[in-house]
Amino acid sequence: MTKRTWYSVSVFLLCLTGSGGHLLGQEVGENELPATSEYKDAVERVWVNTYGNIRISKRLFWDAQTHFRFQETENTPFLGQMAQIYNRHAIGYIHSKYFNVSLGGVLRLNFNTSETPVDRNLVPEWRIWHQYQFAQPLENMMIYHRIRIEHRWTQGFGEPSDYTFRNRWRYMFRMKIPLNDHKLQPKTLYVSPEAELIMQSGKAVVASPMEDLRLTTTLGYILTPRLTVAAGLMYSQGQDLDNGGLYKQGLTMRFHLYFSPDFRKVRNKLPEIHLSD
Amino acid sequence: MKMGKIGPKKILGSAIALLLGFCALQAQEEQRIQKTLKIGKYQGEASFGYTVVQGDTVLDGDFLMERSNVLELLERQDYSFLFKGRFNKGVPQGDWVFEFGDFQSNKASNVVDYQYRVLVTGTQESAKGRITNGRPDGTWIILEEDIKDSEIEKTVFKSEISFANGVPERSFQIMNENQTLVGRFLRNGLAHDEWSLFSQNGMTATESWYFNEGILRSIGASMDGSVFRIPIFKNTSNEQVKVLNLDQRYLAVVDYYMGLQTEYPLAAAKLPDLLQENAKHYANIQHILSDLGESTFSPQFKVGVPYFPLSANDSTLVEEVKAQVKEASAISRELLGNSQLNLLQLTNTEVRSYARGVEQLKDRLLLPLQKLVVYDSLGILPYLDPNVLDTVLWPNGVPAVLDVSNISEVSSEALLPSALHEENGTSAPTGYALLEKRSTQTLYALKDLKKTLARMLAKDKRENELVAIEDSLVMRQKRLQLTLDSMRVKLPAKYGAALAGVGSLAVQRLALYSEGSNGDDDLAMARKTLVCLEDLQEITETLGEMPNYAERIMVAYTDRIWNPFTATLMDETVKKRIPTAYQKTVEPYFLNTLASELSCENAQELHSDIVNAYERVLYLRNAETTKLERRLKRAKNPREILQFLYDETLIKNTRP
């Protein structure tokens, strides 16, 4: 790409962000669908996620995830301010090497990130979720399919505010491709492209069933069988709940820490983790 | 009360007394029984009477014991026997018959008078005569006949002797197939007059023993056309005589005196053969009878021999000779049976001459001295004239000089056999003293020879061993080089220096040996070098295993871990500090030591250190090693690390 091209892309992006909001406010009503779909400016976010997978028996594990999600604001343009703190927990059942299921709950703390003053700065959001994950080896890489179903109760920042109930239907396709090795093992750098489609349903959902489409690529490094780090970039887009003609966009830098300790006694683990016998 | 009148009570009393007396008599009477008996080698059905005297069963009355088995006879062959006679309170008494058969049948039979008859072929022995108080009495005839088809074919042996209460008297006759012995006794059983041996088809005696009241005065014989008359106890007067039985011992005494001449040795005499054959038959019957009761059933032929009682000093000398002969015989047996000596004397003339010396001492001194030991064991020394001992034992005299070259170098002058004859002075020992002196000299001479030969053999052994070790040294070195060469190709480069260390030590050590002084410690040095090469071979083979050791340790310390995020199993090194310590420190330390500090002295220890360290690290895999791993964290020094690895206080064994 030449200098000149870079310049024109920047100008285009500036026009979008600068005039988009103004245009929406004036010409389209709150719930009135626009004539053509309109894309909001991409929100820049930073997610720092930890994923714990703690083995508690031969077939059960505790899925413990804590995510810290930051979102840019006018005052803090890049890293942004804390938007959500995510506590996702579940008990998982390992059916086989290539299939497991989980059931648990989520408590998400939502922080207000908009510039306009609201009644409350922090509201909780509750979810019950269950998940069905398939894995399959393909040559030197692994392919994963994840179906995750969530039942969520959300609340606005206004006071008083009732809980809104919605269901979320998520499917994710993910690959892990080792880059410097013939298979995934310690000291392996891998690239993981993933695509997740999140659909939603519920009384509140009228014209915006596609909540989010997330396209991510991460680069991971397996430190040990029990510890992996990864970082990646995600582009996402999805319909605004209030107006199906409006599309939110997001660019998210993601930093992940995966850990899977096993506190069971040595003799219960040895010589191998057998799952099918 | 009137006489003659007997009351009814008295009659009853008498009747009871009579009855009781009768019962008591009945109890004393013999009882008969039939049962299987075993007497020595004879087992058969017996029928006999016996009484019980003071709790002992004593044969009494008729006795019959026999055996024959027609099935065995028809099948192969049968041994039959029959003993028939009578006992009187345990003592044989009356007419007796003994028969022993050894028959085969021709398997053909015919029926005569309602009886099956089978013809037999074999030998039949029999003895018949009367016994009085356990002793032969009257005429006893012993026969051994060959039987063919149930007919007597020929008489193989026959003896006919008259006894008076166990003492032989009058004339007797003993014959076998070839010869007949005729002689006579005095009333007291002493041999008397001419005992003559005739050949079966000749009219003149071939051998005659002339007795006079038991004393054998001379033996006459004709052999190869010449006639001998050998005096035996020619001048012995009746007063000097002891009476013996004519048996083996007596013949040995006769043999001794016949040793004074050489024309007709006792071994050539035929007369004793017949006497012995006869004695065998009598002894067989004696065995049977003495097993059953009391008897003395031997033909007590009496003879007289001169008597030379041994003084206390003589007895001591004889004991000394016996002890020395025993020791000397052992030495000569040991030396002459030594295979190394026998081999060496084929090539080494010096050894050969010493070995010949031993042989001559044995043949010319030891064997005659051994005769004395035999005489003593027969108990006939008191009947041998000590003044003729020298002549009987050494009829040709003691060899003046034994053919042992250079023997004077190893023996002191006094011990030389040649010195034996130098003592012609007045005080020269005679009789048993002379024998004692000779046996002492023989023993010393043999001891000296043994010492000398032992030295020569040891030297030869060393030389042979050295040659053998040097051969193995060459083979070991070749083998080691081959192994080293193949390891150099097979093993990774990091093992190269250690292999070179082993190779150069082997070469260096061999060079050191071959430059050696060829001195006395050559053999020790060769042995050490051989052991060293063996150790180096072991080390080289272990070096070849070391990559496997490392590999096996890594495998042992690797767990397969489930990674839930990738849904795959991954290898994980557990207790990482231990395998790392082995890989990064211990193994390099061993390799460096092999390359630079290896010596023959530490090779074996180093080898076992290497193997032990590997085994220890494998062992630690299943032990509780938290403490040890903490210690290893900061340890850098290989010796310190090895010390930690072996420290039992740092681990807990968790294996069930």
Could you list the residue range(s) of the whole structural domain that residue B47 is in?
30-306
All residues of chain B having their beta carbon less than 8 Å from the beta carbon of residue A51 are 565
Can you tell me the distance from the alpha carbon of A176 to that of B624, in angstroms, rounded to the nearest whole number?
Answer: 37
Confidence class for position B14, pLDDT limits 50, 70, 90:
low
ipTM, interface predicted TM-score of the complex: 0.83
**B172 three-state secondary structure:** strand
**Of the candidate ranges A57-66, B68-77, B117-126, B507-516, the one whose mean pLDDT is the lowest:** B68-77
Q: Which of B119, B124, B66, B58 is nearest to B93 (CA)?
A: B58
How much is the pLDDT for B221?
79
Q: Least CB-CB distance to A273: which of B565, B566, B569?
A: B569
Confidence class for position B24, pLDDT limits 50, 70, 90:
very low
Residues near A76 by Cβ (< 8 Å), separated by ≥ 6? none
pLDDT at residue B6 is higher than 80: no
Q: Least CB-CB distance to B561: which of A51, A53, A273?
A: A273
Can you tell me the distance from the alpha carbon of B372 to that of B387, in angstroms, rounded to the nearest whole number?
Answer: 14
Domain A34-269, CATH = 2.40.160
Query: If you average pLDDT over residues B138-157, what whole number do you get?
Result: 84
How many secondary structure helices (H) and strands (E) does chain A include? 2, 11
User: Does residue B483 lie within any of the structural domains?
Assistant: no
- Strands, E assignment, A33-77: 38-55, 60-71
Q: Are B601 and B607 a contacting pair, CB within 8 Å?
A: no
User: Does residue B474 lie within any of the structural domains?
Assistant: no
pLDDT at residue B472 is higher than 60: yes
Give which of A224, A227, A257 to mutate to test B binding, by max B Cβ within 10 Å: A224
Kindly state the tokens that stand for B189.
């059983």
Same domain, B275 and B397: no
Task: Single out the residue in B306, B322, B346 at which a domain terminates.
Answer: B306
Kindly state the tokens that stand for B534.
């063996």
* Cβ distance of B564 and A61 shorter than 8 Å: yes
DSSP state of A163: P
Core vs surface per residue B596-622: b (16+ CB within 10 A) or e: eebebeebbebbebbbebbeebeebee
Chain mean pLDDT for chain B: 80
Burial class (CB within 10 angstroms; exposed 0-12, middle 13-18, buried 19+) of B227? exposed
Length of chain B: 656
pLDDT at residue B553 is higher than 50: yes
Confidence class for position A9, pLDDT limits 50, 70, 90:
very low
pLDDT at residue B420 is higher than 70: no
Query: If you average pLDDT over residues B223-239, what whole number do you get?
Result: 74
All residues of chain A having their beta carbon less than 8 Å from the beta carbon of residue B569 are 97, 272-273
User: Does residue B179 lie within any of the structural domains?
Assistant: yes
DSSP state of A139: T
* Cβ distance of B568 and A226 shorter than 8 Å: no
Confidence class for position B156, pLDDT limits 50, 70, 90:
confident
Can you tell me the distance from the alpha carbon of A166 to that of A203, in angstroms, rounded to the nearest whole number?
Answer: 7
Confidence class for position A269, pLDDT limits 50, 70, 90:
low
Instruction: Provide the number of CB pairs (under 8 Å) joining chain A to chain B.
Output: 63
Instruction: Classify the phi-psi angles of B379: left when phi > 0, otherwise alpha if psi is within -120 to 50, otherwise beta.
Output: left
Query: If you average pLDDT over residues B571-590, what whole number do you get?
Result: 91
Same domain, B317 and B300: no
Percent of chain A with pLDDT over 70: 84
How much is the pLDDT for A235?
97
**Measured between CA atoms, how close is B565 to chain A, in angstroms?**
8
How much is the pLDDT for B424?
46
Can you tell me the distance from the alpha carbon of B336 to that of B363, in angstroms, rounded to the nearest whole number?
Answer: 12
pLDDT at residue B396 is higher than 80: no
pLDDT at residue B572 is higher than 80: yes
3-state helix, strand, coil in chain B (%, to 5): 50, 30, 20
pLDDT at residue B400 is higher than 60: no
Residues near A164 by Cβ (< 8 Å), separated by ≥ 6? A153, A154, A155, A156, A202, A203, A204
Question: Which is more confident, B464 or A127?
Answer: A127
Give which of B563, B572, B574, B575 to mutate to test A binding, by max A Cβ within 10 Å: B563
Q: Which of B389, B349, B398, B348 is nearest to B371 (CA)?
A: B389
Q: Are A245 and A33 a contacting pair, CB within 8 Å?
A: yes
Same domain, B212 and B65: yes
Same domain, B425 and B522: no
* Cβ distance of A225 and B563 shorter than 8 Å: yes
Same domain, B322 and B253: no
Same domain, B98 and B141: yes
Q: Are B56 and B25 a contacting pair, CB within 8 Å?
A: no
User: Does residue B478 lie within any of the structural domains?
Assistant: no
Confidence class for position B505, pLDDT limits 50, 70, 90:
very high
**Measured between CA atoms, how close is A57 to chain B, in angstroms?**
13
Confidence class for position B12, pLDDT limits 50, 70, 90:
low
Query: If you average pLDDT over residues A129-136, what whole number do you get?
Result: 96
pLDDT at residue B423 is higher than 50: no
pLDDT at residue A234 is higher than 80: yes
Question: Which is more confident, B337 or B588?
Answer: B588
Question: Which is more confident, B248 or B203?
Answer: B248
Tell me the Cα Rg of chain A.
21
* Cβ distance of A135 and B564 shorter than 8 Å: no
Q: Are B49 and B61 a contacting pair, CB within 8 Å?
A: yes
A184 in B contact zone (CB under 8 Å): yes
pLDDT at residue B592 is higher than 70: yes
3-state helix, strand, coil in chain A (%, to 5): 10, 60, 30
How much is the pLDDT for A236?
96
* Domain count across chain B: 3
Can you tell me the distance from the alpha carbon of A219 to that of A179, in angstroms, rounded to the nearest whole number?
Answer: 10
Q: Are A213 and A239 a contacting pair, CB within 8 Å?
A: no
pLDDT digits (tens, 9 = 90+) for B606-640: 999 999 999 999 999 888 888 899 989 888 899 99
Where are chain A's structural domains?
1-30, 34-269
How much is the pLDDT for B479?
92
Same domain, B197 and B345: no
Q: Which long-range contacts (CB under 8 A, 24 or more apart) does B280-285 make?
A: B281/B125, B281/B127, B281/B142, B281/B144, B281/B157, B281/B159, B282/B142, B285/B98, B285/B127
What is the separation, in whole angstroms, between the first and last Cα of chain B?
114
Can you tell me the distance from the alpha carbon of B386 to that of B363, in angstroms, rounded to the nearest whole number?
Answer: 22
Query: If you average pLDDT over residues A57-65, what whole number do you get?
Result: 91
Query: If you average pLDDT over residues B80-88, what whole number do you get?
Result: 83
**A183 three-state secondary structure:** coil
Q: Which of B117, B97, B96, B100 is nearest to B40 (CA)?
A: B100
Among positive and negative, which fits the CA dihedral A101, A105, A109, A110?
positive
pLDDT digits (tens, 9 = 90+) for B518-541: 555 777 888 888 999 999 999 999
Can you tell me the distance from the alpha carbon of A165 to that of A154, in angstroms, rounded to the nearest whole number?
Answer: 7
Q: Which of B454, B444, B456, B448 is nearest to B349 (CA)?
A: B456
How far is C-alpha A157 from the geometric centre of its chain's CA atoms? 22
Among positive and negative, which fits the CA dihedral B214, B216, B222, B228?
negative
Query: If you average pLDDT over residues A157-186, what whole number do you get?
Result: 92
Residue whose pair of structure tokens reads 């030495």 in the numeric block: B331
Same domain, B48 and B140: yes
Question: Which is more confident, B171 or B11?
Answer: B171
All residues of chain A having their beta carbon less than 8 Å from the beta carbon of residue B653 are none
DSSP string, B432-491: HHHHHHHHHHHHHHHHHHHHHHHHHHHHHHHHHHHHHHHHHHHHHHHHHHHHHHHHHHHS
Length of chain A: 277
SS (H, E, C) B570-628: EEEECCCHHHHHHHHHHHHHHHHHHHHCCCCCCHHHHHHHHHHHHHHHHHHCCEECHHH
Same domain, B528 and B622: yes
What is the separation, in whole angstroms, between the first and last Cα of chain A?
57
Question: Which is more confident, A97 or B425?
Answer: A97
How much is the pLDDT for B411?
44
A205 in B contact zone (CB under 8 Å): no
Which residues, numbered 232 to 271 in chain A, qualify as contacts with chain B under a Cβ-Cβ cut-off of 8 Å?
258, 260, 262, 269-271
Same domain, B146 and B170: yes
Give which of A226, A229, A262, A276 to mutate to test B binding, by max B Cβ within 10 Å: A226
Confidence class for position A216, pLDDT limits 50, 70, 90:
very high
Q: Least CB-CB distance to A184: which of B560, B564, B566?
A: B566
How much is the pLDDT for A29?
52
How much is the pLDDT for B653?
67
Confidence class for position B241, pLDDT limits 50, 70, 90:
confident
Kindly state the tokens that stand for B632.
């290893």
Q: Least CB-CB distance to B567: which of A135, A183, A271?
A: A135
* Cβ distance of A186 and B571 shorter than 8 Å: yes
Can you tell me the distance from the alpha carbon of B590 to that of B457, in angstroms, rounded to the nearest whole number?
Answer: 46
User: Does residue B13 lie within any of the structural domains?
Assistant: no
How much is the pLDDT for B299?
73
Task: Single out the residue in B258, B274, B306 at which a domain terminates.
Answer: B306
Q: Are B366 and B399 a contacting pair, CB within 8 Å?
A: no
Same domain, B150 and B128: yes
Q: Are B278 and B300 a contacting pair, CB within 8 Å?
A: no
How much is the pLDDT for A245?
92
Instruction: Classify the phi-psi angles of B518: left when phi > 0, otherwise alpha if psi is within -120 to 50, otherwise beta.
Output: left
Task: Single out the residue in B285, B306, B327 at which a domain terminates.
Answer: B306
Q: Which of A5, A35, A11 is nearest to A23 (CA)?
A: A35
How much is the pLDDT for B616?
93
* Cβ distance of B572 and A186 shorter than 8 Å: yes
How much is the pLDDT for B426?
46
Give which of A185, A189, A256, A270 to mutate to test B binding, by max B Cβ within 10 Å: A185
pTM over 0.80: no
pLDDT at residue B17 is higher than 90: no
Question: Which is more confident, A93 or B216?
Answer: A93
Residue B87 to residues B167, B285, B292: CA-CA distances in angstroms? 21, 15, 9
Same domain, B450 and B582: no
